[in-house]
Structure 1
Amino acid sequence: MALSVNGRTAIVTGAGSGINFAFAKLLVDNGCNVLIADLALRPEAKVLVDKHSTGAARVVFQETDVRDWLQLERMFEVAEGEFGEIDIVCPGAGVYEPVASKDSPDGGRYALVDINVTHPIRTTQLAIAHFLRHKENGRPKHIVHISSIAGQNATFAAPIYVATKHAINGLVRSLAKLETLGIRVTAVAPGVIKTPLWTDHPEKLKMVDDSVDEWVTPEEVATVMLALVQQDVVGETIGDRSGRGPQFPVSGGTILEVSKTVRAVGQFDDPGPGDRPGNTATDHAAVEEESFGLLATKGWGQSKL
Protein backbone atom coordinates (compact mmCIF):
# COMPACT_ATOMS: atom_id res chain seq x y z
CA MET A 1 0.00 0.00 0.00
CA ALA A 2 2.99 2.35 0.15
CA LEU A 3 2.70 5.00 -2.56
CA SER A 4 5.24 7.51 -3.80
CA VAL A 5 3.41 10.84 -4.01
CA ASN A 6 5.52 11.98 -6.96
CA GLY A 7 3.23 12.54 -9.93
CA ARG A 8 0.08 11.89 -7.87
CA THR A 9 -2.77 14.18 -6.85
CA ALA A 10 -4.13 15.11 -3.40
CA ILE A 11 -7.08 17.03 -1.99
CA VAL A 12 -6.41 18.67 1.39
CA THR A 13 -9.19 20.55 3.17
CA GLY A 14 -8.26 23.29 5.59
CA ALA A 15 -4.86 23.71 3.94
CA GLY A 16 -5.02 27.48 4.07
CA SER A 17 -3.10 27.26 7.35
CA GLY A 18 -1.72 25.00 10.08
CA ILE A 19 -1.05 21.27 9.80
CA ASN A 20 -2.93 20.98 6.53
CA PHE A 21 -0.86 23.74 4.94
CA ALA A 22 2.33 22.03 6.09
CA PHE A 23 1.08 18.74 4.62
CA ALA A 24 0.11 20.39 1.32
CA LYS A 25 3.53 22.05 1.08
CA LEU A 26 5.32 18.78 1.81
CA LEU A 27 3.26 16.99 -0.82
CA VAL A 28 4.04 19.51 -3.54
CA ASP A 29 7.70 19.59 -2.52
CA ASN A 30 7.68 15.85 -3.22
CA GLY A 31 6.12 16.23 -6.66
CA CYS A 32 2.42 15.86 -5.84
CA ASN A 33 -0.36 18.02 -7.29
CA VAL A 34 -2.53 19.50 -4.54
CA LEU A 35 -5.98 21.04 -4.44
CA ILE A 36 -6.32 23.22 -1.34
CA ALA A 37 -9.95 23.49 -0.21
CA ASP A 38 -10.56 26.16 2.41
CA LEU A 39 -12.52 29.33 3.06
CA ALA A 40 -9.41 31.47 2.56
CA LEU A 41 -5.62 31.36 2.37
CA ARG A 42 -3.22 32.76 4.92
CA PRO A 43 -0.27 34.63 3.34
CA GLU A 44 2.06 31.61 3.38
CA ALA A 45 -0.55 29.47 1.62
CA LYS A 46 -1.15 32.21 -0.98
CA VAL A 47 2.60 32.19 -1.71
CA LEU A 48 2.50 28.41 -2.18
CA VAL A 49 -0.42 28.60 -4.61
CA ASP A 50 1.19 31.40 -6.63
CA LYS A 51 4.57 29.66 -6.72
CA HIS A 52 3.12 26.39 -8.00
CA SER A 53 0.43 27.63 -10.37
CA THR A 54 2.43 25.99 -13.16
CA GLY A 55 5.04 23.26 -13.29
CA ALA A 56 5.31 19.53 -12.83
CA ALA A 57 3.51 19.69 -9.47
CA ARG A 58 0.78 22.31 -9.24
CA VAL A 59 -1.32 23.76 -6.44
CA VAL A 60 -4.90 24.94 -7.02
CA PHE A 61 -7.07 26.75 -4.48
CA GLN A 62 -10.79 26.01 -4.39
CA GLU A 63 -12.77 28.21 -2.02
CA THR A 64 -14.79 25.73 0.03
CA ASP A 65 -17.09 25.79 3.02
CA VAL A 66 -16.72 22.21 4.19
CA ARG A 67 -20.12 22.33 5.90
CA ASP A 68 -21.76 22.48 2.45
CA TRP A 69 -21.99 19.05 0.83
CA LEU A 70 -22.43 20.53 -2.64
CA GLN A 71 -19.17 22.44 -2.22
CA LEU A 72 -17.45 19.20 -1.17
CA GLU A 73 -18.70 17.55 -4.36
CA ARG A 74 -17.49 20.54 -6.36
CA MET A 75 -14.06 20.19 -4.71
CA PHE A 76 -13.70 16.70 -6.21
CA GLU A 77 -14.99 17.85 -9.59
CA VAL A 78 -12.44 20.67 -9.75
CA ALA A 79 -9.57 18.42 -8.65
CA GLU A 80 -10.48 15.80 -11.24
CA GLY A 81 -10.83 18.45 -13.94
CA GLU A 82 -7.46 20.01 -13.09
CA PHE A 83 -5.42 16.89 -12.44
CA GLY A 84 -7.38 13.78 -13.43
CA GLU A 85 -7.26 10.88 -11.02
CA ILE A 86 -7.05 11.63 -7.28
CA ASP A 87 -4.85 9.45 -5.08
CA ILE A 88 -4.75 11.06 -1.62
CA VAL A 89 -7.49 12.82 0.33
CA CYS A 90 -7.01 14.58 3.66
CA PRO A 91 -10.26 15.91 5.21
CA GLY A 92 -8.18 17.99 7.59
CA ALA A 93 -10.25 21.13 8.18
CA GLY A 94 -11.14 21.48 11.85
CA VAL A 95 -12.06 24.02 14.49
CA TYR A 96 -11.70 24.24 18.25
CA GLU A 97 -14.42 24.76 20.81
CA PRO A 98 -14.35 28.30 22.20
CA VAL A 99 -15.34 28.81 25.83
CA ALA A 100 -18.25 30.93 24.60
CA SER A 101 -19.76 29.12 21.61
CA LYS A 102 -20.86 31.21 18.65
CA ASP A 103 -23.56 28.78 17.47
CA SER A 104 -27.00 30.34 17.16
CA PRO A 105 -29.41 28.99 19.80
CA ASP A 106 -32.06 28.53 17.10
CA GLY A 107 -29.74 27.37 14.33
CA GLY A 108 -30.32 23.66 14.79
CA ARG A 109 -26.66 22.78 14.20
CA TYR A 110 -23.28 22.75 15.92
CA ALA A 111 -20.70 24.14 13.48
CA LEU A 112 -17.95 22.30 15.34
CA VAL A 113 -19.65 18.94 14.71
CA ASP A 114 -20.40 19.80 11.08
CA ILE A 115 -16.76 20.74 10.44
CA ASN A 116 -14.95 18.22 12.63
CA VAL A 117 -17.14 15.14 12.08
CA THR A 118 -19.72 15.46 9.30
CA HIS A 119 -17.29 16.98 6.79
CA PRO A 120 -14.63 14.24 7.25
CA ILE A 121 -17.30 11.54 6.95
CA ARG A 122 -18.82 13.01 3.78
CA THR A 123 -15.41 13.74 2.24
CA THR A 124 -14.33 10.16 2.97
CA GLN A 125 -17.50 8.87 1.32
CA LEU A 126 -16.85 10.99 -1.78
CA ALA A 127 -13.21 9.88 -1.86
CA ILE A 128 -14.16 6.20 -1.69
CA ALA A 129 -16.63 6.69 -4.55
CA HIS A 130 -13.94 8.38 -6.66
CA PHE A 131 -11.36 5.73 -5.82
CA LEU A 132 -13.70 2.88 -6.74
CA ARG A 133 -14.40 4.47 -10.13
CA HIS A 134 -10.66 4.22 -10.84
CA LYS A 135 -10.20 0.82 -9.25
CA GLU A 136 -9.18 -0.89 -12.47
CA ASN A 137 -5.70 0.66 -12.60
CA GLY A 138 -4.68 -0.85 -9.27
CA ARG A 139 -3.05 2.29 -7.84
CA PRO A 140 -3.23 2.36 -4.03
CA LYS A 141 -5.32 5.15 -2.53
CA HIS A 142 -5.01 6.91 0.80
CA ILE A 143 -7.30 8.87 3.11
CA VAL A 144 -5.44 10.58 5.97
CA HIS A 145 -7.48 12.05 8.82
CA ILE A 146 -6.43 14.39 11.59
CA SER A 147 -7.44 13.24 15.04
CA SER A 148 -5.84 14.50 18.26
CA ILE A 149 -4.69 13.35 21.66
CA ALA A 150 -8.13 14.71 22.58
CA GLY A 151 -9.44 11.56 20.90
CA GLN A 152 -7.96 9.59 23.78
CA ASN A 153 -8.42 12.07 26.62
CA ALA A 154 -11.39 13.62 28.39
CA THR A 155 -11.37 17.40 28.84
CA PHE A 156 -14.12 19.19 30.75
CA ALA A 157 -13.25 22.52 29.12
CA ALA A 158 -13.84 21.24 25.56
CA PRO A 159 -16.24 18.26 25.63
CA ILE A 160 -17.65 18.67 22.13
CA TYR A 161 -14.20 18.99 20.57
CA VAL A 162 -13.11 15.87 22.48
CA ALA A 163 -16.20 14.02 21.24
CA THR A 164 -15.43 14.93 17.62
CA LYS A 165 -11.91 13.52 17.85
CA HIS A 166 -13.16 10.32 19.47
CA ALA A 167 -15.50 10.11 16.49
CA ILE A 168 -12.62 10.41 14.01
CA ASN A 169 -10.79 7.56 15.74
CA GLY A 170 -13.89 5.39 15.49
CA LEU A 171 -14.35 6.24 11.81
CA VAL A 172 -10.75 5.45 10.90
CA ARG A 173 -10.74 2.11 12.72
CA SER A 174 -14.12 1.15 11.28
CA LEU A 175 -12.83 1.65 7.73
CA ALA A 176 -9.66 -0.42 8.22
CA LYS A 177 -10.90 -3.24 5.98
CA LEU A 178 -11.09 -0.90 2.97
CA GLU A 179 -7.43 -1.81 2.54
CA THR A 180 -8.68 -5.03 0.89
CA LEU A 181 -9.98 -2.73 -1.87
CA GLY A 182 -6.70 -0.84 -2.11
CA ILE A 183 -7.85 2.10 0.01
CA ARG A 184 -5.88 2.81 3.19
CA VAL A 185 -7.58 4.98 5.84
CA THR A 186 -5.31 6.25 8.62
CA ALA A 187 -4.95 9.20 10.99
CA VAL A 188 -2.48 11.27 12.95
CA ALA A 189 -3.26 12.33 16.52
CA PRO A 190 -1.18 15.45 17.27
CA GLY A 191 -0.34 16.64 20.74
CA VAL A 192 -0.10 20.32 21.68
CA ILE A 193 0.63 21.83 18.30
CA LYS A 194 1.47 25.43 17.51
CA THR A 195 -1.11 26.27 14.86
CA PRO A 196 -3.92 28.85 14.65
CA LEU A 197 -6.20 26.22 16.24
CA TRP A 198 -4.30 27.05 19.44
CA THR A 199 -2.73 30.46 18.86
CA ASP A 200 -5.99 32.09 17.67
CA HIS A 201 -7.76 31.06 20.89
CA PRO A 202 -6.55 32.95 23.97
CA GLU A 203 -8.78 30.77 26.16
CA LYS A 204 -6.96 27.69 24.87
CA LEU A 205 -3.49 29.21 25.21
CA LYS A 206 -4.17 29.64 28.93
CA MET A 207 -3.71 25.87 29.28
CA VAL A 208 -0.10 25.95 28.07
CA ASP A 209 2.82 26.82 30.33
CA ASP A 210 5.76 27.51 28.01
CA SER A 211 8.21 26.91 30.85
CA VAL A 212 7.04 23.31 31.16
CA ASP A 213 5.12 22.32 28.01
CA GLU A 214 6.59 21.75 24.54
CA TRP A 215 4.95 22.58 21.24
CA VAL A 216 4.68 20.10 18.40
CA THR A 217 5.22 21.78 15.02
CA PRO A 218 2.92 21.46 12.00
CA GLU A 219 5.93 20.27 9.99
CA GLU A 220 6.51 17.37 12.39
CA VAL A 221 2.91 16.25 11.99
CA ALA A 222 3.03 16.65 8.20
CA THR A 223 6.15 14.48 8.05
CA VAL A 224 4.26 11.65 9.75
CA MET A 225 1.25 12.16 7.47
CA LEU A 226 3.49 11.79 4.43
CA ALA A 227 5.01 8.66 5.97
CA LEU A 228 1.52 7.15 6.37
CA VAL A 229 1.13 7.46 2.61
CA GLN A 230 4.62 6.60 1.44
CA GLN A 231 5.73 3.95 3.95
CA ASP A 232 4.49 0.66 5.37
CA VAL A 233 6.50 1.17 8.56
CA VAL A 234 6.94 4.41 10.54
CA GLY A 235 9.65 4.95 13.15
CA GLU A 236 9.27 6.41 16.62
CA THR A 237 11.59 9.31 15.80
CA ILE A 238 9.96 11.72 13.36
CA GLY A 239 11.49 11.47 9.91
CA ASP A 240 13.80 8.57 10.82
CA ARG A 241 13.70 5.67 8.34
CA SER A 242 16.84 3.95 9.59
CA GLY A 243 14.93 1.25 11.45
CA ARG A 244 17.23 1.51 14.47
CA GLY A 245 14.51 2.54 16.92
CA PRO A 246 10.97 1.27 17.55
CA GLN A 247 8.97 0.79 14.35
CA PHE A 248 5.20 0.83 13.84
CA PRO A 249 3.66 -1.09 10.93
CA VAL A 250 1.14 0.95 8.94
CA SER A 251 -2.10 -0.51 7.63
CA GLY A 252 -5.73 0.52 7.40
CA GLY A 253 -7.02 1.82 10.72
CA THR A 254 -3.59 2.93 11.98
CA ILE A 255 -3.64 6.01 14.23
CA LEU A 256 -0.25 7.53 15.05
CA GLU A 257 0.06 9.90 17.97
CA VAL A 258 2.51 12.69 17.12
CA SER A 259 4.12 14.42 20.08
CA LYS A 260 7.88 14.99 19.97
CA THR A 261 8.01 11.30 19.07
CA VAL A 262 5.59 8.95 17.31
CA ARG A 263 3.43 6.29 18.96
CA ALA A 264 0.80 3.92 17.58
CA VAL A 265 -2.53 4.33 19.41
CA GLY A 266 -4.08 0.99 20.33
CA GLN A 267 -7.80 0.34 20.06
CA PHE A 268 -7.97 -1.50 23.39
CA ASP A 269 -6.06 -1.09 26.64
CA ASP A 270 -4.07 1.84 25.26
CA PRO A 271 -2.10 3.68 27.98
CA GLY A 272 -3.05 7.07 26.55
CA PRO A 273 -0.92 10.07 25.60
CA GLY A 274 0.67 10.41 29.03
CA ASP A 275 3.08 13.23 29.78
CA ARG A 276 5.38 12.72 26.80
CA PRO A 277 7.02 15.95 25.58
CA GLY A 278 4.57 17.67 23.24
CA ASN A 279 1.48 16.17 24.89
CA THR A 280 1.09 18.30 28.00
CA ALA A 281 -0.96 21.43 28.60
CA THR A 282 -0.53 21.82 32.32
CA ASP A 283 -2.82 24.74 33.13
CA HIS A 284 -6.24 23.19 32.49
CA ALA A 285 -7.57 24.38 35.84
CA ALA A 286 -7.95 28.03 34.82
CA VAL A 287 -10.04 27.16 31.76
CA GLU A 288 -12.14 24.69 33.75
CA GLU A 289 -12.87 27.41 36.30
CA GLU A 290 -14.11 29.65 33.47
CA SER A 291 -16.33 26.82 32.27
CA PHE A 292 -17.87 26.46 35.73
CA GLY A 293 -18.35 30.22 35.75
CA LEU A 294 -20.30 30.03 32.51
CA LEU A 295 -22.49 27.24 33.87
CA ALA A 296 -23.36 29.52 36.79
CA THR A 297 -24.56 32.24 34.41
CA LYS A 298 -28.34 32.70 34.42
CA GLY A 299 -29.88 31.38 31.22
CA TRP A 300 -26.86 29.32 30.13
CA GLY A 301 -27.87 26.79 27.50
CA GLN A 302 -31.04 28.69 26.61
CA SER A 303 -30.29 32.20 25.37
CA LYS A 304 -26.73 31.23 24.43
CA LEU A 305 -25.40 27.78 23.52
Structure 2
Amino acid sequence: MSLSISGKIAIVTGAAHGIGLAIARHFLDRGAQVVCADLDEDKLIAEFGDAARSEGPARIFAGNLCEKLTQSNLLSATADAFGRVDILVNAARSFAPSDPLDPSGEVLDQMLKHNLLAGLRLSQMTAKRMIAQAEKEDREEGEIGAIVNISALAGQRTQPELLAYSIACAAQDQATRSLAVALAPHRIRVNGVAFASVMSGSLQAALKGNDDWREAVIEGTPLGRIAAASELVETVQYLASTGAGFVTGQVITVDGGRGLLDRVQIPAL
Protein backbone atom coordinates (compact mmCIF):
# COMPACT_ATOMS: atom_id res chain seq x y z
CA MET A 1 0.00 0.00 0.00
CA SER A 2 1.51 3.30 -1.07
CA LEU A 3 0.90 6.33 1.11
CA SER A 4 3.15 8.49 -1.04
CA ILE A 5 1.99 11.94 -2.11
CA SER A 6 5.35 12.87 -3.58
CA GLY A 7 4.97 14.84 -6.78
CA LYS A 8 1.27 15.52 -6.19
CA ILE A 9 -0.14 19.02 -6.47
CA ALA A 10 -2.22 19.94 -3.43
CA ILE A 11 -4.29 22.89 -2.27
CA VAL A 12 -4.55 23.24 1.51
CA THR A 13 -6.90 25.90 2.86
CA GLY A 14 -6.57 27.33 6.35
CA ALA A 15 -2.83 26.80 5.92
CA ALA A 16 -1.66 29.70 8.10
CA HIS A 17 -2.75 28.29 11.44
CA GLY A 18 -3.35 25.14 13.47
CA ILE A 19 -4.40 22.00 11.67
CA GLY A 20 -4.21 23.51 8.18
CA LEU A 21 -0.66 24.69 8.85
CA ALA A 22 0.35 21.24 10.12
CA ILE A 23 -1.13 19.58 7.02
CA ALA A 24 0.57 21.98 4.60
CA ARG A 25 3.95 21.52 6.30
CA HIS A 26 3.55 17.74 6.33
CA PHE A 27 2.60 17.58 2.67
CA LEU A 28 5.65 19.66 1.74
CA ASP A 29 7.86 17.40 3.87
CA ARG A 30 6.46 14.37 2.02
CA GLY A 31 7.34 15.76 -1.41
CA ALA A 32 4.07 17.32 -2.53
CA GLN A 33 3.85 20.75 -4.11
CA VAL A 34 1.41 22.79 -2.10
CA VAL A 35 -0.61 25.95 -2.63
CA CYS A 36 -1.07 27.27 0.92
CA ALA A 37 -4.27 29.32 1.09
CA ASP A 38 -5.53 31.47 3.94
CA LEU A 39 -6.88 34.93 4.71
CA ASP A 40 -3.83 35.74 6.85
CA GLU A 41 -1.20 36.72 4.28
CA ASP A 42 1.40 37.83 6.84
CA LYS A 43 1.33 34.44 8.57
CA LEU A 44 1.51 32.62 5.24
CA ILE A 45 4.62 34.59 4.32
CA ALA A 46 6.16 33.93 7.72
CA GLU A 47 5.51 30.18 7.48
CA PHE A 48 6.07 29.46 3.79
CA GLY A 49 7.91 32.47 2.35
CA ASP A 50 11.18 30.60 1.79
CA ALA A 51 9.52 27.56 0.19
CA ALA A 52 7.43 29.82 -2.07
CA ARG A 53 10.41 31.63 -3.58
CA SER A 54 11.55 31.00 -7.16
CA GLU A 55 10.91 27.37 -8.12
CA GLY A 56 10.16 26.17 -4.61
CA PRO A 57 7.54 23.55 -3.76
CA ALA A 58 5.07 25.96 -2.16
CA ARG A 59 2.96 28.88 -3.27
CA ILE A 60 1.10 31.38 -1.11
CA PHE A 61 -2.45 32.45 -1.84
CA ALA A 62 -4.15 35.00 0.43
CA GLY A 63 -7.84 35.80 0.19
CA ASN A 64 -11.32 35.29 1.57
CA LEU A 65 -12.21 31.77 0.48
CA CYS A 66 -15.88 32.32 1.29
CA GLU A 67 -16.08 34.30 -1.96
CA LYS A 68 -16.57 32.47 -5.24
CA LEU A 69 -14.27 34.80 -7.18
CA THR A 70 -11.48 34.16 -4.68
CA GLN A 71 -11.96 30.40 -5.05
CA SER A 72 -11.77 30.70 -8.83
CA ASN A 73 -8.62 32.79 -8.52
CA LEU A 74 -7.11 30.15 -6.21
CA LEU A 75 -7.63 27.43 -8.81
CA SER A 76 -6.22 29.65 -11.55
CA ALA A 77 -3.17 30.46 -9.41
CA THR A 78 -2.62 26.75 -8.77
CA ALA A 79 -2.79 25.96 -12.49
CA ASP A 80 -0.41 28.82 -13.28
CA ALA A 81 2.10 27.66 -10.67
CA PHE A 82 1.99 23.89 -11.06
CA GLY A 83 -0.18 23.14 -14.10
CA ARG A 84 -2.77 21.03 -12.33
CA VAL A 85 -4.36 20.05 -9.01
CA ASP A 86 -4.49 16.50 -7.63
CA ILE A 87 -5.51 16.98 -3.99
CA LEU A 88 -7.73 19.45 -2.15
CA VAL A 89 -7.72 19.63 1.65
CA ASN A 90 -10.45 21.86 3.06
CA ALA A 91 -8.94 22.72 6.44
CA ALA A 92 -10.13 26.33 6.78
CA ARG A 93 -12.55 26.49 9.70
CA SER A 94 -14.02 28.86 12.26
CA PHE A 95 -15.47 28.12 15.68
CA ALA A 96 -17.96 29.94 17.89
CA PRO A 97 -20.32 28.86 20.67
CA SER A 98 -23.94 29.93 20.34
CA ASP A 99 -27.10 30.34 22.37
CA PRO A 100 -29.43 27.53 21.24
CA LEU A 101 -32.45 29.80 21.91
CA ASP A 102 -31.15 32.81 19.99
CA PRO A 103 -33.49 33.27 16.98
CA SER A 104 -31.22 35.74 15.15
CA GLY A 105 -29.21 32.97 13.51
CA GLU A 106 -26.12 35.14 13.08
CA VAL A 107 -23.68 32.57 14.46
CA LEU A 108 -25.38 29.80 12.48
CA ASP A 109 -25.03 31.82 9.28
CA GLN A 110 -21.34 32.35 10.04
CA MET A 111 -20.68 28.69 10.84
CA LEU A 112 -22.47 27.46 7.72
CA LYS A 113 -20.69 29.99 5.53
CA HIS A 114 -17.20 29.22 6.84
CA ASN A 115 -17.41 25.51 7.68
CA LEU A 116 -19.79 24.19 5.03
CA LEU A 117 -20.42 26.42 2.02
CA ALA A 118 -16.86 27.64 1.41
CA GLY A 119 -15.41 24.14 1.32
CA LEU A 120 -18.35 22.66 -0.57
CA ARG A 121 -18.18 25.24 -3.35
CA LEU A 122 -14.40 24.97 -3.60
CA SER A 123 -14.72 21.18 -3.79
CA GLN A 124 -17.24 21.47 -6.61
CA MET A 125 -15.04 23.87 -8.56
CA THR A 126 -11.92 21.78 -7.95
CA ALA A 127 -13.68 18.59 -9.03
CA LYS A 128 -14.63 20.21 -12.33
CA ARG A 129 -11.01 21.23 -12.81
CA MET A 130 -9.84 17.67 -12.08
CA ILE A 131 -12.33 16.24 -14.57
CA ALA A 132 -11.24 18.71 -17.25
CA GLN A 133 -7.58 17.82 -16.62
CA ALA A 134 -8.29 14.11 -17.10
CA GLU A 135 -10.20 14.75 -20.32
CA LYS A 136 -7.41 16.94 -21.67
CA GLU A 137 -4.80 14.33 -20.82
CA ASP A 138 -7.04 11.53 -22.14
CA ARG A 139 -6.77 9.65 -18.85
CA GLU A 140 -9.48 7.01 -19.02
CA GLU A 141 -8.34 4.87 -16.09
CA GLY A 142 -7.14 5.42 -12.56
CA GLU A 143 -7.92 7.97 -9.90
CA ILE A 144 -7.84 11.59 -11.02
CA GLY A 145 -8.17 13.36 -7.68
CA ALA A 146 -8.84 13.26 -3.96
CA ILE A 147 -10.63 15.68 -1.66
CA VAL A 148 -10.30 15.63 2.14
CA ASN A 149 -12.56 17.70 4.37
CA ILE A 150 -11.54 18.55 7.94
CA SER A 151 -14.55 18.29 10.23
CA ALA A 152 -15.09 17.83 13.96
CA LEU A 153 -16.62 15.39 16.42
CA ALA A 154 -19.21 18.08 17.22
CA GLY A 155 -21.11 17.00 14.12
CA GLN A 156 -21.68 13.58 15.69
CA ARG A 157 -22.45 14.62 19.27
CA THR A 158 -25.15 16.74 20.89
CA GLN A 159 -23.90 19.86 22.66
CA PRO A 160 -26.57 22.57 22.78
CA GLU A 161 -24.05 25.33 23.49
CA LEU A 162 -22.39 24.42 20.17
CA LEU A 163 -25.65 24.25 18.23
CA ALA A 164 -24.51 26.31 15.22
CA TYR A 165 -21.06 24.74 15.01
CA SER A 166 -22.46 21.21 15.39
CA ILE A 167 -25.03 21.75 12.64
CA ALA A 168 -22.34 23.04 10.28
CA CYS A 169 -20.07 20.05 11.05
CA ALA A 170 -22.91 17.56 10.54
CA ALA A 171 -23.84 19.23 7.26
CA GLN A 172 -20.22 19.11 6.13
CA ASP A 173 -20.03 15.38 6.86
CA GLN A 174 -23.18 14.85 4.79
CA ALA A 175 -21.68 16.93 1.98
CA THR A 176 -18.62 14.65 2.10
CA ARG A 177 -20.78 11.57 1.65
CA SER A 178 -22.97 13.10 -1.06
CA LEU A 179 -20.03 14.41 -3.07
CA ALA A 180 -18.29 11.05 -2.74
CA VAL A 181 -21.20 9.33 -4.47
CA ALA A 182 -21.59 12.07 -7.08
CA LEU A 183 -17.89 12.13 -7.97
CA ALA A 184 -17.19 8.39 -7.82
CA PRO A 185 -18.05 7.88 -11.54
CA HIS A 186 -15.49 10.59 -12.30
CA ARG A 187 -12.80 8.74 -10.28
CA ILE A 188 -12.54 11.41 -7.59
CA ARG A 189 -12.59 10.28 -3.96
CA VAL A 190 -14.02 12.45 -1.18
CA ASN A 191 -13.42 11.73 2.50
CA GLY A 192 -13.32 13.57 5.81
CA VAL A 193 -11.43 13.64 9.09
CA ALA A 194 -13.38 14.60 12.20
CA PHE A 195 -11.19 15.72 15.06
CA ALA A 196 -11.61 16.25 18.79
CA SER A 197 -9.06 16.50 21.59
CA VAL A 198 -6.65 17.82 18.97
CA MET A 199 -4.92 21.14 19.60
CA SER A 200 -6.49 23.12 16.77
CA GLY A 201 -6.20 26.89 16.71
CA SER A 202 -9.76 27.27 17.99
CA LEU A 203 -9.23 24.85 20.88
CA GLN A 204 -5.97 26.54 21.82
CA ALA A 205 -7.74 29.89 22.00
CA ALA A 206 -10.64 28.43 23.97
CA LEU A 207 -8.38 26.74 26.53
CA LYS A 208 -6.16 29.77 27.10
CA GLY A 209 -6.41 30.62 30.79
CA ASN A 210 -9.07 27.96 31.35
CA ASP A 211 -7.32 25.14 33.19
CA ASP A 212 -10.58 23.57 34.38
CA TRP A 213 -11.80 23.09 30.83
CA ARG A 214 -8.43 21.72 29.77
CA GLU A 215 -8.60 19.12 32.54
CA ALA A 216 -12.18 18.26 31.59
CA VAL A 217 -11.14 17.63 27.98
CA ILE A 218 -8.24 15.44 29.08
CA GLU A 219 -10.38 13.50 31.56
CA GLY A 220 -13.01 12.97 28.87
CA THR A 221 -10.46 11.46 26.49
CA PRO A 222 -9.60 7.78 27.04
CA LEU A 223 -6.03 8.31 25.80
CA GLY A 224 -5.69 10.92 28.54
CA ARG A 225 -4.25 13.85 26.60
CA ILE A 226 -4.82 16.47 23.93
CA ALA A 227 -3.15 15.53 20.65
CA ALA A 228 -0.88 17.84 18.69
CA ALA A 229 -2.18 19.02 15.32
CA SER A 230 0.66 17.07 13.71
CA GLU A 231 -0.99 13.81 14.86
CA LEU A 232 -3.93 14.43 12.53
CA VAL A 233 -1.90 14.82 9.37
CA GLU A 234 -0.98 11.17 8.79
CA THR A 235 -4.68 10.33 8.49
CA VAL A 236 -5.13 13.16 6.00
CA GLN A 237 -2.15 11.92 3.99
CA TYR A 238 -3.58 8.39 3.95
CA LEU A 239 -6.91 9.60 2.57
CA ALA A 240 -5.17 11.73 -0.04
CA SER A 241 -2.87 8.90 -1.19
CA THR A 242 -3.47 5.98 -3.55
CA GLY A 243 -3.23 3.75 -0.48
CA ALA A 244 -6.83 4.76 0.19
CA GLY A 245 -7.81 4.11 -3.42
CA PHE A 246 -10.96 2.16 -2.45
CA VAL A 247 -11.98 4.49 0.38
CA THR A 248 -14.55 7.18 -0.32
CA GLY A 249 -17.44 8.81 1.53
CA GLN A 250 -15.88 8.08 4.92
CA VAL A 251 -15.43 10.44 7.85
CA ILE A 252 -12.61 9.07 10.01
CA THR A 253 -12.67 10.22 13.61
CA VAL A 254 -9.38 11.20 15.29
CA ASP A 255 -10.31 11.97 18.88
CA GLY A 256 -8.33 9.80 21.30
CA GLY A 257 -11.50 7.79 21.94
CA ARG A 258 -13.50 10.76 23.21
CA GLY A 259 -16.54 9.99 21.07
CA LEU A 260 -16.86 6.54 22.63
CA LEU A 261 -17.95 7.84 26.01
CA ASP A 262 -21.33 8.62 27.50
CA ARG A 263 -20.64 10.81 30.52
CA VAL A 264 -24.11 10.44 32.08
CA GLN A 265 -23.59 8.94 35.54
CA ILE A 266 -25.52 5.74 36.27
CA PRO A 267 -26.81 5.47 39.85
CA ALA A 268 -25.42 2.59 41.87
CA LEU A 269 -27.76 -0.42 41.91
Shift of 1:259: 2.1
TM-score where L is the length of structure 1: 0.72
Q: Which amino acid aligns with 1:123?
A: L
CA distance in 2, matches of 1:106, 1:256: 29
- Aligned match of 1:227 in 224, 238, 252? 238
1:274 maps to what in 2? 260
Residue 217, structure 1, aligned to residue 223, structure 2: no
- CA distance in 2: counterparts of 1:54 and 1:118, whole angstroms: 32
Corresponding residue to 1:185 among 184, 187, 190:
190
Residue 129 of structure 1, CA deviation: 0.9
Q: Which runs of 5+ in 1 are unaligned?
A: 234-248, 262-271, 283-305
Larger deviation, residues 164-173 vs 209-218 = 209-218
Match of 2:146 among 142, 145, 153: 142
Following superposition, the deviation at residue 114 of structure 1 comes to: 0.7
| Separation (CA, whole Å) in 2 of partners of 1:202 and 1:100 | 20
Q: CA deviation at 1:254?
A: 1.4
Matched residue SS, 2:60: strand
Task: Rate the CA distance shift 1:156–1:107 in 2: closer, same or farther, 3 A.
Answer: closer
State the secondary structure of the residue aligned to 1:144: strand
The code of the aligned residue for 2:164 comes to I
Is 1:32–1:58's contact at 8 Å kept on the other side of the alignment?
A: yes
Question: 2:157 corresponds to which residue?
Answer: 153
* Structure 2 unaligned regions, length at least 5: 264-269
Write out aligned runs for 1:91-110 (5 A). Answer: 91-99=90-98, 110=109
- TM-score (norm: length of structure 2): 0.81
Aligned amino acid, residue 273 of structure 1 = G
Deviation track 1:48-86 (CA, whole Å, cap 9, x = no partner) reads 412312477521111111221111111111111111110
* Contact persistence 2:131–2:144 (CA under 8 A): no
Match of 1:201 in 2: 206
CA distance in 1, matches of 2:10, 2:16: 14
Amino acid across the alignment from 1:175? L
- Aligned pair count? 248
**Pairs within 5 Å for 1:114-153:** 114-136=113-135, 137=137, 138=139, 140-153=144-157
Match of 1:299 in 2: none
Deviation at 1:41, TM superposition (A): 5.0
Whole-Å separation in 2 of the counterparts to 1:26 and 1:32 = 9
Secondary structure of the 2:27 match is: helix
**Two-structure CA RMSD over aligned residues (Å):** 3.0
Secondary structure in structure 2 of the residue aligned to 1:31: coil
CA 1:49 to 1:107, structure 2 compared with 1: closer, same or farther past 3 Å?
Answer: same
Identity across aligned pairs (percent)? Answer: 22
- Residue 13 (1) aligns with residue 35 (2): no
> 1:13-32 residue pairs with structure 2 within 5 A?
13-32=13-32
Structure 1 residue 251 corresponds to structure 2 residue 247: yes
Q: Which amino acid aligns with 1:228?
A: L
**1:188–1:78 Cα change, 3 Å:** same
**Is the partner of 2:40 in helix, strand or coil?**
coil
SS of the residue 1:215 aligns to: coil
Match of 1:171 in 2: 175
Rounded Cα–Cα distance in structure 2 between residues aligned with 1:28 and 1:64: 21
Does the 8 Å CA contact 1:48/1:59 hold for their aligned counterparts?
A: no
Structure 1 residues 109 and 98: alpha-carbon distance in aligned structure 2, compared to 1, 3 A threshold: closer
Moved more, 21-30 or 170-179: 170-179
The aligned residue for residue 244 of structure 1 is none
Q: Secondary structure at the match of 1:20?
A: helix
Alpha-carbon distance in 1 for matches of 2:256, 2:32 = 26
Q: Quick one: distance in 2 between partners of 1:115 and 1:8? A: 26
Report the Cα offset of residue 250 of structure 1.
5.1
Cα drift, residue 173 of structure 1: 1.0
